[in-house]
Amino acid sequence: MNFAVLRSLLGSRGVDRANTTAPGLVGMPKASKHSTGVWVTVLLLIGAGGFGAWYWYNSRGSSPQYLTGTVVRGDLTQAVTATGQLNPMINVQVGSQISGIIQKLFVDFNSPVHEGQIIAQIDPATYLANVHQNEADLENAKAVLELAKLNAGRAEDLSKKNLTPKADCDKALAELQQARAAVKQKEATLERAKVDLNRCTVSAPIDGIVISRHVDVGQTVTASLSAPTFFVIAKDLTHMQIDANVAEADVGGVKVGQSVDFTVDAFPARIFHGKVTQIRNAPTMVQNVVTYDAVIEVDNPDLELKPGMTANVAIVTARRPNTLKIPNAALRFRPPEVLAARTNVASTVKTRSTAGRKPGANAGAVASSLAKARQTHRTVYTLASTNAATPGEAPVLEPIQIKTGIGDGVFTEVIDGLNEGTVVVVGLNTPKNNYGALAGKNPFSSRSK
């Protein structure tokens, strides 16, 4: 704003306040139309000058502004993430092979049990009656056996003296064999009845703790096609396992013996540790996603981890202590001219390949592109030092080929091509050189950025 011009306007168009008064009011100054126009003109000039200064400030830089990062040295850990469920290492479902009414329960949830300890009792009345009935049948079969022995002996004596036909002797001996077989059959039936009677008493098969109970006293259980489950006993909750679902794309990097860090929702600020003990080959497909079960052994001395908890697992596949690492944004950055050239080339290749293309003709190209995507040699860009101190000139980008290693999703290991402290380009700020770009930064708008 030219203050000399403003001063001349005010001087030539001054306001004589002493000689103008409002009609009917003594001593009150009266503003003239001429002075009002002067102040409107002054305000318009000030506003125009401010907008011009603001526009010039925001549009003065026409060269691109690059965002940079630095190659640093530090620890780098590559991990495969998955989710899984905590389970006891040995989980036994205790049930019964017979039907009946639950008469007694001797344990409940969280009850410690020992092998052979009685934990439930089924009403034995029916099975006890079966035992008594089979005992009577066995005694009857033994009596029939004794009579058959006497008849066979008498028939043999008479046959030797030729007093009875040979056929009568043979018949008596056959009846003796049938009586002996009947005794054995009754003994087996009695033994089975005793086994059923013993099964009315349910015992713990292992040492452990009851983590689930499915029956109550007075409940009738029926063992028809499958045995009903009474209790679920975990052998040892101080040693548990996680069945983690690892995606097929990540299972190649998971090996037995790798360390595992995981968290649970119950203790979000605490990190637990484990070790991979098994990778099962049986695939699981859920919504067209193939996963494999990785068994992770976990120590739980304080019994803070509970069966069924969901674990967020990070399987450590590689560690690099005190290594060079670069931000992943530097690997993704490409200058605008490079992106434009790639777009033109891709469009040309697509146009050429569309004509006369046969099904499956691009299989080799897809495989080649996937191989290139997984290569370890990458290109990053640095600012050339020759233009770093030249004012008003656009900085020159210098491409550098580097060899990369593992990554953690934020940083990637640099094996060769860069030194510690090297500044690399990670992004680009688009210059604001037109009114359309400046429209989003209106200083008079409360939503300006």
Residue 315 sits in a domain whose CATH number is 2.40.30.170
Query: From CA 2, how far away is CA 48, in angstroms rounded?
Result: 12
Tell me whether residue 20 is in a domain: no
Regarding whether 301 and 335 lie in a shared domain, the answer is: no
Regarding whether 283 and 266 lie in a shared domain, the answer is: yes
Regarding whether 331 and 245 lie in a shared domain, the answer is: no
Regarding whether 333 and 219 lie in a shared domain, the answer is: no
**What pLDDT band is residue 430 in, cutting at 50, 70 and 90?**
low
Tell me whether residue 448 is in a domain: no
**What pLDDT band is residue 447 in, cutting at 50, 70 and 90?**
very low
**What pLDDT band is residue 54 in, cutting at 50, 70 and 90?**
low
**CATH number for the domain including 130?**
1.10.287.470
Across the range 386-394, mean pLDDT stands at 51
Q: What's the pLDDT at 340?
A: 60
Dihedral, CA of residue 46, residue 52, residue 55 and residue 60, to nearest 10: -130
Q: Domain range for residue 305?
A: 79-89+232-319
Joined together, the tokens standing for residue 45 give 């000039």
138 neighbors 130 (Cβ within 8 angstroms): no
- 33-59 and 3-12 helices cross at what angle (nearest 10)? 170
Q: What's the pLDDT at 157?
A: 84
Residue 436 confidence (pLDDT) above 50: no
Tell me whether residue 135 is in a domain: yes
Tell me whether residue 19 is in a domain: no
Query: From CA 151, how far away is CA 139, in angstroms rounded?
Result: 19
Q: What's the pLDDT at 42?
A: 75
**What pLDDT band is residue 154 in, cutting at 50, 70 and 90?**
confident
Q: Which residue did the predictor score with more confidence, 102 or 43?
A: 102
Tell me whether residue 362 is in a domain: no
Regarding whether 201 and 136 lie in a shared domain, the answer is: yes
Regarding whether 160 and 194 lie in a shared domain, the answer is: yes
Across the range 57-62, mean pLDDT stands at 54
Three-state DSSP class for 368?
helix
**What pLDDT band is residue 43 in, cutting at 50, 70 and 90?**
confident
Tell me whether residue 447 is in a domain: no
Closest CA to 17 of 34, 40, 5: 34
Regarding whether 128 and 217 lie in a shared domain, the answer is: yes
71 neighbors 171 (Cβ within 8 angstroms): no
The last residue of a domain, from among 193, 208, 227: 227
Residue 190 confidence (pLDDT) above 50: yes
88 neighbors 211 (Cβ within 8 angstroms): yes
Residue 129 confidence (pLDDT) above 70: yes
Regarding whether 222 and 108 lie in a shared domain, the answer is: yes
Q: What's the pLDDT at 384?
A: 74
Regarding whether 393 and 336 lie in a shared domain, the answer is: yes
Residue 89 confidence (pLDDT) above 50: yes
Regarding whether 34 and 128 lie in a shared domain, the answer is: no
Give the count of domains, the chain: 4
Tell me whether residue 350 is in a domain: no
Tell me the β-bridge partners of 414.
Answer: 404
Regarding whether 213 and 265 lie in a shared domain, the answer is: no
Closest CA to 300 of 259, 239, 242: 239
Query: From CA 409, how far away is CA 328, in angstroms rounded?
Result: 7
Regarding whether 263 and 158 lie in a shared domain, the answer is: no
Query: From CA 327, how far away is CA 69, in angstroms rounded?
Result: 7
Q: What's the pLDDT at 49?
A: 73
Query: From CA 300, how far away is CA 307, in angstroms rounded?
Result: 11
Q: Which residue did the predictor score with more confidence, 92 or 38?
A: 92
pTM of the model: 0.64
Tell me whether residue 360 is in a domain: no
